[in-house]
Amino acid sequence: MAEDEGKDPDPIEFEAELRRYRHADPFVPFDIILTSGGRVSVRDPDALAFTCNAVIYGDPRRGIGIYRKNQVVGFHVLEPSN
């Protein structure tokens, strides 16, 4: 049996990836995908913040959302508009 066989792949560091997309120049909007299947549409990078256990996003229409990091399962980067 190979040493790596049966091991889970290295986890993606979601916070590091989210920070990278938040600071991209130019910024490209993205959606944070939650374990519930819901999505948080990040359209303003300055409205996104992180704590040690949560991702916080302030949406002008929906208010402030606080999502535990264990609720984040992925993200989807939208196509840049030209």
For 23-79, the pLDDT digits (tens) are: 999 999 999 999 999 999 999 999 999 998 899 999 888 899 999 988 988 888 887
Residue 9 has pLDDT above 90, yes or no: no
- The helix/strand/coil state of 32 is strand
Residue 4 is predicted with a pLDDT of 53
Domain that holds residue 59: 14-77
Total of domains in the chain:
1
Kindly report the number of other CB atoms within 10 A of residue 30's CB atom. Answer: 22
pLDDT at 1: 45
pLDDT at 68: 92
> What's 72's domain CATH number?
2.30.30.100
CA gap 31, 75 in Å, rounded: 5
Domain assignment present for residue 39? The answer is yes
- Alpha helical stretches, state H, the chain: 14-22
pTM of the model: 0.74
CB atoms within 10 A of CB 18: 20
Instruction: Give residue 38's pLDDT.
Output: 93
